[in-house]
Amino acid sequence: MLVVATAALLGASLVTPVATQAAIPSITIWVDSPRLPGAQLYAQIMKGKVNVNVQLHAQGDLVAKVQLFNTVKKGWPDVVFGPPNDVAFLKNPLVNNALMLDKLQSPAIWKAFGHGNDWCNLNGHYYCVKNDLAQTVLWYNKTLMTQFGYKVPTTMAEFAAIGADVAKNHPGYSMGPLGDQAAYSSFLESSQCPLNVAKSDTVVVINAKSPKCTRVSALLQPMIDSGVLDVRSPFDAGYIKDVQAGKWLMNVGPSWWGQFVLRPASSYNVPAGQVATAPMPLWAGETKAYSGEYGGGIYTISPHSKFPKEALAFAMFMVGDVRNLVTVKNPDGSHGAPTYPAYGPGNKIWVQAVAKDTYYAQSIVPALDTQAQLIWPGTKPVRYDANGAWGASFATDLAQTKNLQHAIEAYATYTSNAATQVGYAVVSK
């Protein structure tokens, strides 16, 4: 039993390369279920060269258990796939579970990310590898747009104008949900509203009264009042039922929106040949049409890992290798990684496969590519649960008051408290 127990205590490896000649590096990987096929493929490929132990874990497991591992000083997995905000928590010296990765591979590889790995660049160093980008673009129903005679909006003013027209002439059609993180990633971030702008490890800007936030509320409030923008979460069963009846006109959503939300029969169920993408509408007085980001997982490597190079190699496989991006078989029969890769070369491979997807009315890639370079760099990883706070404060307030500005301020109050609690000073600029 003890042998089994000890063998199960993987994390740091038990065998150093020097010990015996037959010993090979050994890494433990924690991934969630969409990433599992790729990880298992990797384990197979590396058989004999690296001992890869793939374990299925929910995305929040590492954060939940890392304190336990730190207490007993063992058990850390080598590389973990997790939600993007976790890197700040893990990098915190008190937790110390995000390794600085700069020196582990050549600068050329880091450069090949383009802006794709900017999220992981903290204080000038890389602390994680971004798996996918979840940049928002404008998803729209091309068929309906033609039918109603609308032009694809290029500015937010045009977006609002369409909203007003829909309310008058085509009531019942939806231009997007605002619950969960949707409002933030779709509108607030693109407007550069400062709500989680961490200037350093100790200072964060949270200011709901900034003009960059209030202009969003001003523009969108009429659309909320008329029902064209919905206060519910994108995954609310009631909202799904409402839009399933062919009532989805357009919404600003992330790169995975088409595949995960618009397409499935149990979700919005938009028929084939109707969905298209366009770049983000521009806010008045701006020159760049920024995107927000709704997700986009990361790989972090533990400083306690005995084989960080091998751990990083796994992460790079997942983000750059054609075998994971295009060919690996998923449990539902589809092939390849489901999300928009952040790594340049990997991205090129992936988009070629996606461009051939006949579900969409036209290739969705151009808009995705444009916006991939325009993700607003203001939002930064923070040590408090900025994403959970949307559910904790914003969603309830919006549902009750139906007032966007009021809900944003509720969010700001909540996160200010949370930020102060973990040691940030909250400033308004």
The size of the interface with other proteins (CB under 8 A), counted in residues, is 78
Under a CB-based contact definition with an 8 Å cutoff, are residues 336 and 327 in contact? yes
Could you say whether residue 403 binds other proteins (CB under 8 A)?
no
Binding other proteins by CB under 8 A: which of 16, 17, 33, 171? 33
- Residue 16 vs residues 4, 45, 76, 105, 309: alpha-carbon distances, Å: 19, 21, 17, 21, 14
Burial of 115 (0-12, 13-18, 19+ CB in 10 A): middle
Could you say whether residue 202 binds other proteins (CB under 8 A)?
no
Part of the chain binding other proteins (CB under 8 A), chosen from 68-76, 189-197, 202-210, 319-327 = 68-76
Dihedral sign, Cα of residue 80, residue 84, residue 89, residue 92: positive
Could you say whether residue 224 binds other proteins (CB under 8 A)?
no
| Alpha-carbon span 416 to 413, nearest angstrom | 5
Determine phi and psi for 52, rounding to 5 degrees: -105, 120
For 144, residues 6+ apart whose C-beta sits below 8 A from its C-beta are 173, 249, 274
Part of the chain binding other proteins (CB under 8 A), chosen from 110-118, 298-306, 333-341, 347-355 = 333-341
**For 21, which DSSP code?**
T
Strand pairing class (121-122; 275-278): unpaired
Query: Binding to other proteins (CB under 8 A): which residues in 106-165?
Result: none
Could you say whether residue 387 binds other proteins (CB under 8 A)?
yes
Part of the chain binding other proteins (CB under 8 A), chosen from 99-107, 203-211, 328-336, 372-380 = 328-336
Residue closer to other proteins by CB (options 328, 351) is 328
Could you say whether residue 368 binds other proteins (CB under 8 A)?
no
Please tell me the number of Cα atoms within 13 Å of 26 on its side-chain side.
16
CA angle 27, 28, 29 (to 5 degrees): 120
Instruction: Give the shortest CB-8-to-other proteins separation in angstroms.
Output: 4
Interface pattern 5-24 for other proteins (x via CB under 8 A)? xx-xx---------------
Residue closer to other proteins by CB (options 48, 93) is 93
Binding other proteins by CB under 8 A: which of 71, 123, 202, 287? 71
Binding other proteins by CB under 8 A: which of 17, 47, 49, 74? 74
Binding other proteins by CB under 8 A: which of 13, 25, 26, 32? 32
